[in-house]
């Protein structure tokens, strides 16, 4: 099987769980992999990515001599590489060629025969040039901001790779509209079901009724969970507006897990609208925290929406992780979520609509324990059948193996 050079901008990144998940599951498919990143990420990262971090090579930590050594592997595709480098506008020509040669040397030294880049920006451009220089096959997978907020030579890149990967159907359609002749495949960001699992015993009508009675007697505080970067695409101001619309007696507490550029503004909004008792900022957490603490919450709430710069979440893994953990999901009918969530597996509302979101919260808390358990079971079954990391890796592996 092909040994794959995974080309990344930086690694490992706490919020980019899908990268490590994919690499681990490609290893389970039988592929040797070699992560190669431009830079060593200095922030937090997922504990389960430690082994991959330890074997990652970083272009920034190799000298120009490494680029000169890459010249020894140049193949007949040099003209294609030079042409692409001249036509692209995202990176300086000299820098692109130098990093591509470094990448060639490190990849070929480690016997890699396929380059696979995550995100359609500098990592994809460098992977394309490197692959063409040394006669390897190449692909990239896009995730959201790299094609909708800050696209760089996207049409050129689509036409330069052997195939491209999209993480939701809307992205497939957009790729096809931009480059009709490109080979595009849909491979979802999958969930590691062996990690994201709770006690999945089915609930009977009798113990559902008992659970609901206990819940009513305890009069416990309703509690919702948000996980993600605190940025515009997550619809957090829509969420706080919805919370403000609810009567105080019906307002749940919402824990926000994550960090980001909007934290200060969100704190100010919560304070200005007397929501501080109902909104907790918990900061960034490991995925293991979610696995251990999800049972403290009634549902996950993630009202994704389109950002002012065009950015959007295209295949949010956290939604599928919640489904795997049997944590109900309240979200928006938007991009990838409209594929993952159905009427029987969660609650969806239009994006940027705080009134509808507030109504959805009230609707959720009006459901019977039996209806909620049915929703949980349906969601888990859907993830298991369609969105496991193992199944998605098998699909990606079969695609890569088709190209010589």
Domains assigned to the chain = 4-190+388-402 (3.40.50.2000), 205-386 (3.40.50.2000)
Q: How many CA atoms lie within 13 A of 39 on its CB side?
A: 7
Task: Give the 3-state secondary structure of residue 156.
Answer: helix
Q: State both tokens at 215.
A: 């819940």
The C-alpha torsion from 377 through 379 and 385 to 386, rounded to 10°, is: 180
Instruction: Identify the CA nearest to 358 among candidates 248, 275, 244, 279.
Output: 244
pLDDT tens for the 404 residues of the chain, in order: 999 999 999 999 999 999 999 999 999 999 999 999 999 999 999 999 999 999 999 999 999 999 999 999 998 889 999 999 999 999 999 999 999 999 999 999 999 999 999 999 999 999 999 999 999 999 999 999 999 999 999 999 999 999 999 999 999 999 999 999 999 999 999 999 999 986 554 444 444 444 444 344 334 679 999 999 999 999 999 999 999 999 999 999 999 999 999 999 999 999 999 999 999 999 999 999 999 999 999 999 999 999 999 999 999 999 999 999 999 999 999 999 999 999 999 999 999 999 999 999 999 999 999 999 999 999 999 999 999 999 999 999 999 999 97
Cross-strand partners of 35: 6
Q: Are 323 and 373 in contact (CB under 8 A)?
A: no
DSSP 37: E
DSSP element (H, E) containing 139: strand 137-141
* pLDDT at position 272: 98
Q: State both tokens at 386.
A: 């369609």
Angle at 116 between CA 113 and CA 118, to 5 degrees: 165
Q: Are 347 and 330 in contact (CB under 8 A)?
A: yes
What does the alpha-carbon distance between residue 376 and residue 346 come to, in Å, rounded to a whole number? 8
Please state the φ and ψ torsions of residue 210, each to the nearest 5 degrees: -65, -45
The label of the residue with tokens 């489904």 reads 323
| Residue-level length of the chain | 404
What does the alpha-carbon distance between residue 99 and residue 103 come to, in Å, rounded to a whole number? 6
* pLDDT at position 219: 43
The label of the residue with tokens 């019977």 reads 368
Decide: residue 202, CB within 10 A, 0-12 exposed, 13-18 middle, 19+ buried.
Answer: exposed
Cross-strand partners of 21: none
Q: Are 235 and 260 in contact (CB under 8 A)?
A: no
* Residue 258, C-beta contacts closer than 8 angstroms, at least 6 positions apart: 15, 226, 227, 228, 229, 230, 283, 284, 285
What does the alpha-carbon distance between residue 245 and residue 357 come to, in Å, rounded to a whole number? 10
Cross-strand partners of 186: 166
* Residue 238, C-beta contacts closer than 8 angstroms, at least 6 positions apart: 303, 305, 351, 352, 353, 354, 357
What does the alpha-carbon distance between residue 134 and residue 104 come to, in Å, rounded to a whole number? 7
Decide: residue 240, CB within 10 A, 0-12 exposed, 13-18 middle, 19+ buried.
Answer: buried
Angle at 210 between CA 205 and CA 214, to 5 degrees: 150
Buried b (16+ CB within 10 A) or exposed e, 355-393: ebbbbbbeebeebebbebbbbbbbbbebbbeebbbbbbb
Please state the φ and ψ torsions of residue 16, each to the nearest 5 degrees: -100, 60
* Residue 379, C-beta contacts closer than 8 angstroms, at least 6 positions apart: 322, 323, 326, 328, 329, 341, 345, 346
């Amino acid at each position: 099987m092909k040994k794959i050079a995974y080309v990344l901008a930086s690694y490992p990144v706490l919020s980019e769980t899908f990268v490590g998940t994919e690499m681990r599951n490609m290893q389970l498919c039988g592929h040797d992999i070699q992560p190669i990143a431009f830079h060593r990420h200095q922030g937090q990262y997922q504990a389960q990515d430690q082994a991959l971090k330890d074997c990652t090579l970083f272009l920034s930590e190799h000298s120009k001599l490494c680029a000169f050594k890459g010249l020894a592997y140049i193949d007949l595709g040099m003209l294609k590489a030079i042409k692409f480098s001249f036509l692209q506008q995202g990176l300086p020509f000299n820098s692109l060629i130098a990093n591509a040669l470094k990448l060639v040397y490190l990849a070929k030294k480690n016997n890699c025969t396929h380059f696979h880049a995550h995100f359609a920006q500098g990592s994809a451009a460098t992977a394309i040039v490197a692959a063409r220089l040394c006669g390897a096959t190449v692909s990239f997978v896009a995730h959201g901001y790299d094609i909708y907020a800050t696209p760089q030579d996207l049409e050129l890149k689509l036409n330069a790779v052997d195939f491209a990967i999209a993480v939701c159907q809307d992205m497939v359609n957009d790729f096809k509209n931009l480059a009709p002749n490109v080979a595009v495949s849909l491979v979802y960001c999958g969930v590691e079901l062996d990690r994201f699992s709770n006690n999945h015993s089915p609930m009977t009508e009798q113990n559902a009724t008992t659970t609901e009675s206990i819940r009513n007697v305890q009069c416990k505080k309703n509690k919702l969970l948000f996980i993600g970067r605190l940025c515009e695409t997550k619809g957090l101001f829509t969420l706080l507006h919805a919370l403000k619309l609810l009567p105080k007696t019906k307002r749940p507490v919402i824990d926000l897990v994550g960090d980001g550029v909007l934290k200060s503004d969100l704190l100010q909004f919560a304070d200005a609208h007397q929501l501080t008792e109902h909104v907790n900022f918990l900061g960034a957490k490991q995925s293991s925290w979610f696995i251990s603490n999800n049972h403290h919450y009634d549902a996950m709430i993630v009202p994704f929406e389109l950002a002012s710069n065009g950015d959007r979440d295209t295949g949010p893994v956290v939604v599928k992780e919640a489904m795997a953990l049997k944590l109900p999901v309240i979200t928006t009918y938007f991009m990838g979520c409209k594929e993952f969530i159905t009427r029987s597996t969660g609650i969806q509302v239009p994006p940027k609509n705080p009134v509808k979101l507030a109504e959805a919260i009230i609707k959720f808390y009006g459901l019977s324990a039996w209806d909620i358990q049915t929703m949980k079971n349906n969601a888990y079954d859907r993830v298991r059948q369609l969105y496991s990391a193992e199944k998605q890796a098998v699909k990606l592996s079969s695609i890569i193996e088709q190209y010589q």
